[in-house]
């Protein structure tokens, strides 16, 4: 399936139905009271987060979405039927903005979550609504109100607990294939991975996390170089970053060069990314030069980012210890977030 994580569409909510002008008619009743019913409301355009979807492919090919208009009111105080809603299914993690104003209309982070992004027009009042002691025979009604029309920008940001980042060919796809059931394309040339790969990783009895392999990060990524910022947005929702380095390609004089380059790109894209916990991993320890350079890197790495995890994704050396380290860090982040939420709730109360 082709991975589509951004697109634009236009939505049309249904117009409200018009009210009715009608009067009660019966034998021997010369002048009956007004009994024109109200028009039905127009249908809304509603988005819903569907956990079965992982791409915006359907929206790429259907650019216009329309809800049904409300029906007109009838006689005998009969109100018109409400128009059917237009339901748009999107993946969990989808953000929807108004193209004109840039306003965030919806951010669907939970499976089954729904949001009205274009409200249908209200139905018009029938003449029965306007009858009074001073106006016993109103000859008018209201037309229905138009529904909202909007151009929308749809953006998918994957919901993953862990983002695996690094230069091309660092071994990110190999790692996620080892620790989960995902089987991405793996080859010995850059940019093999063209889309993010999501995998569920177990790290204890009944405990797991979702990891995402983020492709395409090179120097200048924030400006669109390589695969550019196309996939950097997916890192924003992660809780922990696993920064993978190809130990066999480290420069002996400056072993931190790869690590600094990717961190610089993330900071230029969004400074908040540097606040995320980061676990640094030296991969390809199965190669002699990789193991030796990893030792040099371990000494140069700032204390805040130690310990350095030395692994070989190809032989699985050190992989299990890394998985448990990621799980412990995630538990710590979740606990801190829970405590922060409790403090906020207490302050609000």
Q: What is the pLDDT of residue 54?
A: 78
Q: Give residues with Cβ within 8 angstroms of 311, minimum separation 6.
A: 175, 281, 282, 283, 285, 317, 318, 319, 321, 322
Q: What is the pLDDT of residue 328?
A: 93
Instruction: Give the separation between CA 299 and CA 280, rounded to whole angstroms.
Output: 13
Q: What is the pLDDT of residue 213?
A: 85
Q: Give residues with Cβ within 8 angstroms of 51, minimum separation 6.
A: 91, 92, 111, 112
Instruction: Give the separation between CA 111 and CA 93, rounded to whole angstroms.
Output: 9
Q: What is the pLDDT of residue 133?
A: 83
Mind spelling out the 3-state secondary structure of 127-163? HHHHCCCCCCCCCCCCCCCCCCEEEEEEEECCCCCEE
How many residues appear in the chain?
A: 349
- DSSP-derived letter for residue 230 is G
Residue 194 backbone phi and psi in degrees, to 5? -105, -10
Q: What is the pLDDT of residue 216?
A: 59
Mind spelling out the 3-state secondary structure of 202-226? EEECCEEEEEEECCCCCCCHHHCCC
At residue 87, the 3 state secondary structure works out as strand
Q: 321, 309 in Cβ contact below 8 A?
A: yes
Q: What is the pLDDT of residue 11?
A: 98
Instruction: Give the separation between CA 235 and CA 161, rounded to whole angstroms.
Output: 10
Instruction: Give the separation between CA 349 and CA 205, rounded to whole angstroms.
Output: 36
Instruction: Give the separation between CA 258 and CA 269, rounded to whole angstroms.
Output: 17
In sequence order, which ranges of 172-287 are alpha helices (DSSP H)? 172-179, 257-269
Q: 241, 330 in Cβ contact below 8 A?
A: no
Instruction: Give the separation between CA 91 and CA 200, rounded to whole angstroms.
Output: 17
Instruction: Please report the domains of the chain, with CATH numbers, ordered by start residue.
Output: 1-156 (2.70.210.12), 162-348 (3.40.50.300)
Residue 240 backbone phi and psi in degrees, to 5? -135, 140
Instruction: Give the separation between CA 69 and CA 196, rounded to whole angstroms.
Output: 40
Which helix (H) or strand (E) is 302 found in, with range? none
Instruction: Give the separation between CA 128 and CA 308, rounded to whole angstroms.
Output: 77
Residue 29 backbone phi and psi in degrees, to 5? -105, 110
pTM of the predicted model over 0.85: no
Q: Of 99, 92, 102, which is closest to residue 47 (Cα–Cα)?
A: 92
Maximum Cα–Cα distance across the chain: 106
Q: What is the pLDDT of residue 296?
A: 92
Instruction: Give the separation between CA 247 and CA 283, rounded to whole angstroms.
Output: 6
Instruction: Give the separation between CA 200 and CA 179, rounded to whole angstroms.
Output: 8
Q: 205, 151 in Cβ contact below 8 A?
A: no
Q: What is the pLDDT of residue 185?
A: 52
Q: Of 67, 37, 79, which is closest to residue 146 (Cα–Cα)?
A: 67
Q: Which residue ranges in the chain fall short of pLDDT 50? A: 1, 186-187, 189-193, 221-222, 225-228
Task: Give tens-digit pLDDT for 169-213.
Answer: 888 888 988 998 876 554 454 444 456 778 889 887 778 888 888
Q: What is the pLDDT of residue 65?
A: 97
Q: 279, 241 in Cβ contact below 8 A?
A: yes
């Amino acid at each position: 399936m082709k991975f589509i994580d951004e697109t634009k569409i236009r939505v049309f909510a249904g117009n409200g139905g018009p009210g009715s002008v009608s009067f009660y008619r019966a034998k021997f009743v010369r002048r009956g009271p007004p009994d024109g019913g109200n028009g039905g409301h127009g249908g809304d355009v509603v988005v819903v987060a569907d956990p079965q979807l992982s791409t915006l492919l359907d929206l790429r090919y259907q650019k216009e979405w329309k809800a049904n208009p409300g029906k007109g009111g009838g006689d005998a105080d009969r109100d018109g039927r409400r128009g059917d809603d237009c339901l748009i299914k999107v993946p969990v993690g989808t953000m929807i903005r108004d193209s004109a104003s840039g306003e965030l209309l919806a951010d669907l982070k939970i499976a089954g979550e729904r949001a009205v992004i274009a409200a249908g027009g209200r139905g018009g009042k029938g003449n029965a609504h306007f009858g009074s002691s001073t106006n016993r025979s109103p000859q008018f009604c209201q037309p229905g109100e138009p529904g909202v029309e909007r151009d929308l920008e749809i953006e998918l940001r994957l919901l993953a607990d862990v983002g695996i980042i690094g230069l091309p060919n660092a071994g990110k796809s190999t790692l996620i294939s080892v620790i989960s059931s995902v089987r991405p394309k793996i080859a010995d040339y850059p940019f093999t991975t063209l889309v993010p790969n999501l995998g569920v990783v177990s790290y204890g009895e009944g405990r797991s996390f979702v990891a995402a392999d983020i492709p395409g990060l090179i120097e200048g990524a924030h400006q669109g170089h390589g695969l550019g910022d196309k996939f950097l947005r997916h890192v924003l929702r992660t809780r922990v970053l696993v920064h993978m380095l190809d130990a066999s390609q480290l420069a002996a004089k400056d072993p931190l060069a790869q690590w600094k380059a990717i961190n610089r790109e993330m900071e230029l894209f969004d400074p908040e990314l540097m606040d995320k916990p980061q676990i640094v991993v030296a991969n390809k320890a199965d190669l002699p030069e990789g193991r030796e350079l990893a030792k040099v890197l371990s000494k140069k790495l700032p204390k805040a980012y130690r310990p350095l995890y030395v692994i070989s994704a190809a032989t699985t050396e050190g992989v299990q210890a890394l998985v448990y380290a990621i799980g412990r860090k995630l538990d710590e982040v979740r606990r801190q977030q829970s405590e922060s939420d409790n403090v906020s709730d207490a302050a609000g109360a």
